[in-house]
Amino acid sequence: MEHNEEIHVEHSHGYGIYILVWLALMSLTGITVAVAGINFGGLTIATALIIAAIKSFLVLKVFMHLRSESKTFRAFVGVAILFLLISFILLFSDYSFIVRN
């Protein structure tokens, strides 16, 4: 059990980065709201989702400390998101195929 004590990766315990990320998140929210009024046709929803994905990435990486976690954590999260995306893409492509035929 001698290796059981926590080895903290002593990343910078600064407040600055979090405030910067918060500012970025708020700006991105502003952009989403502003852009929603413009009609890009089919791209409108894509734009909203891309901005949401960028915001989620920032939250995962910085707020949820993935940047200072080990590779195992990043692999876990990556695989989880990948499989969620796969189920989305497969289900949706299958469904739109059924509807069209």
Partner 1 sequence: MSSQEQAAAHVHRDDVGARMGMWLFLFTELILFGGMFILYSIYRYNYPDAFHLAAKELNTIVGTFNTAILLTSSLTMVLAITAIQRKQKALSVFFQVITIVLALGFMVNKYFEWGAKFHHGIYPGSETLLAKPAGEILFFGLYYVMTGLHGLHVIIGVVLIGIMARFTSKGIINSDSYVKLESAGLYWHLVDIIWIFLFPLFYLIT
- Residues within the interface to partner 1 (CB under 8 A): 1-2, 4-6, 13-15, 18-19, 21-22, 25-26, 29, 32-33, 36-37, 39, 44, 48-49, 51-52, 55-56, 59-60, 62-65, 69-70, 72-73, 76-77, 80-81, 84, 87-88, 91-92, 95-96, 99
Each as own residue / partner, the long-range contacts of residues 34-42 (CB below 8 Å, 24 or more positions apart, any chain) are: none
Smallest CA-to-CA distance from 85 within 55, 49, 61 is with 49
Structure tokens at 92: 């949706």
CB of 61 to partner 1, least distance (A): 11
Smallest CA-to-CA distance from 86 within 75, 76, 97, 78 is with 78
In single-letter form, the type of residue at position 84 comes to: L
If the CB atoms of residues 72 and 101 are measured against partner 1, the closer one turns out to be 72
If the CB atoms of residues 64 and 101 are measured against partner 1, the closer one turns out to be 64
Please say whether the dihedral angle defined by the alpha carbons of residues 25, 74, 43 and 86, taken in this order, is positive or negative: negative
CB of 10 to partner 1, least distance (A): 9
CB of 46 to partner 1, least distance (A): 11
